[in-house]
Amino acid sequence: MIKSIARLSAAILLAGLTLASCSKDGVKYLSSNVTIDESGLAGAPSPESYKVTFTNTTTEEVVEVESEGVNVLVEKLTKGVYDVVAQAQFSYAGYAYNYIGTARNVTVDTDGFEIVVKVAATKAAALVVKEVYYNSCKDDNNANLMKDFYLEIYNNSDQVVYADGIALAMTCSPLTYEWKYEAGAYTDKEGNTFDVGIANDDQYVFLTNTVWQIPGKGSDYPVAPGESVVIAGYAMDHTTVAKESINLSTADFETYCDHYGEKGQVDCKAINMNLVAPVVAPTNNFWLTVTGRGFVIFHQDAPIRGTDFIRSSNYPTSLGLEVLKSDVIDAVDLVANATTKKWVDETLDAGKVLSQGNYCGKSVLRKVASTTEDGRVILQDTNNSTEDFITCEDASLENKTKQIRRFGAGRPSWSTWTTAQ
C-alpha cells in the first residue's frame, strides 16, 4: 500500500501537535488527533482521505472534517461523549469500495485527545435496498392496517444480476446479544444441557424471527441495471381499505404464509417467497415491525439451515441464525428514535435511520448519487444509513409519499401479471 510523502509529513506533524484549548462565548473547546487504522483492509486499496464525523451522544451536535491520508486533527469539540465514524469511498481496478470504521462512546475531556478508529473495506454491492415502508398506516376506519409493508431491492450496477436465492431477515442487536462459544453453558427445565454461542462469532451476523428466501434455480429471476424487485407482505391494492396506503398489486414477491396464524390470507399473483428458517415460530407473515429493526438481505451458496439455531451466550433462552458477514449484500438499521440501540453490526451499517412514528404512512429511501447519460439512476451506497437514506417527506423529492419503483426504476421482464407500475 503506497503512502505519499505528504501523508507521512502530515503524520509527523500531528504526532507532535498539541492545540491549546480556546474559549468563545464561555464555551471551552477541545481538539482530538484521530488516526485511521487500516490494518483491517484485507488487501483493499487505501483511499486518499476519510471523512471523520464526531456526533455528541447527548446534544447530537455533529463535527465533520476531512483527513489527509490516515491522520486528521479535529477541532472545536466540546467536552462530552461522542460516536466517531470514519468513512470513505474509492474506485480502483473497476471496483467501488466502501470504507467504514466506528468508535462508540468516546469520552473527550482533554485537549489533544488521541483516538484510533479501525476501518474495514467492502466492495459496493450490485443490489441495494432502495426503499422500505415498515411503519404502516391507519385504514379508513382508523384501525392499524399492518399489512401494507414492502421492501424494494434495486440493481445499482451496470450488469444483469439474479434475485434467485436472495434472503431477507431481521437481526439480533449486537449491542444486546453475545454469541461467544461456551460448552454446556445452559441447562433447561428438564435438565438437558446445551452448548451456547459459536466459535469466531465476530465473523457472523445473527438473525431472528423469520428468514424468507426468493425461490429459483440461479437464473430464473434476472434483474437488469436500473430495475428493481418489490417484496410485499401482501401483494394487493391496499388503497381499497386505506386511502393513505399504497397499491402493491405489482409487487414481484410476497411473504405468503397461510399456515402461520394468517388463516384466510389471499394468495396474490406475486411469486411466493419461501419461509426457510422460522427462528422464532411466527404468528403471521410479518418480517418488519412498525417501530423498526435491523434488516439484511443476503445470499449464501449452502442451503439456509432451518433448525438447530444458536443460543446466545448471555441470553441463552434467545436463539439466532448465524450468517457470515461476507454473505450480506446490504443492511439497513431502522430505529425508533435517536437513543435506540443499533440493531445492525457497525461493519455492515455504520449509521441508522430514524422512524417517523408508528402508523404514519411514511417510507425511507436511499438517496440518488448520480444519473448516467442514458438516464439510469445510481443510488448512494456508503454502508452508512444515516448518510444514505432520507424520508419520503424530504424537500428534494417531487413525490413526497411512499412509492414503489421511484426514480424510474424498471420492472423485470418476468414480472408480468399486472400492468407495470
* Structure confidence by residue, pLDDT tens digits, 244-259: 999 999 999 998 876 5
CATH class of 25-123: mainly beta
- Phi-psi sector, 185: left (phi>0), alpha (psi -120 to 50), beta: alpha
Q: Which residue has the cell 470514519?
A: 86
- CA 324 to centroid of chain Cα atoms: 15
Is residue 26's pLDDT more than 80? no
Reported confidence tier of residue 19, pLDDT bands at 50, 70, 90: very low
Mean pLDDT value of segment 330-351 = 90
Burial class (CB in 10 A: 0-12, 13-18, 19+), 208: buried
Reported confidence tier of residue 95, pLDDT bands at 50, 70, 90: low
pLDDT above 70: percentage of residues in the chain: 89
Q: What is the pTM of this model?
A: 0.78
Q: Which residues contact 48 (CB under 8 A, 6 or more apart)?
A: 69, 90
Is residue 360's pLDDT more than 90? no
Mean pLDDT value of segment 384-398 = 92
Q: Which residue has the cell 411503519?
A: 135
Mean pLDDT value of segment 146-163 = 92
Handedness of CA 246, 298, 95, 387 (dihedral sign): positive
- Phi-psi sector, 287: left (phi>0), alpha (psi -120 to 50), beta: alpha
Taking the C-alpha atoms of residue 99 and residue 398, their distance in angstroms, rounded to an integer, is 31
Is residue 388's pLDDT more than 50? yes
- Phi-psi sector, 117: left (phi>0), alpha (psi -120 to 50), beta: beta
Is residue 375's pLDDT more than 70? yes
Residue-wise pLDDT tens digits, 50-69: 999 999 999 989 999 999 88
Residue-wise pLDDT tens digits, 272-300: 999 999 898 766 555 667 777 899 999 99
Is residue 84's pLDDT more than 90? yes
Q: Which three cell numbers stand for residue 253?
A: 414477491
Reported confidence tier of residue 15, pLDDT bands at 50, 70, 90: very low
Reported confidence tier of residue 74, pLDDT bands at 50, 70, 90: very high
Is residue 5's pLDDT more than 80? no
For the chain, the structural domain boundaries read: 25-123, 127-408
Q: Which of 26-35, 205-214, 370-379 has the lowest mean pLDDT?
A: 26-35
Residue-wise pLDDT tens digits, 182-228: 999 999 899 999 999 999 999 999 999 899 999 999 999 999 999 99
Contact criterion met (CB below 8 Å) for 284 and 262: yes
| Backbone angles phi and psi of 406, in degrees to 5 | -65, 160
Q: Which of 4-8, 106-110, 399-403 has the lowest mean pLDDT?
A: 4-8
Taking the C-alpha atoms of residue 109 and residue 125, their distance in angstroms, rounded to an integer, is 39
Q: Which three cell numbers stand for residue 281?
A: 415460530
Residue-wise pLDDT tens digits, 134-146: 888 899 999 988 8
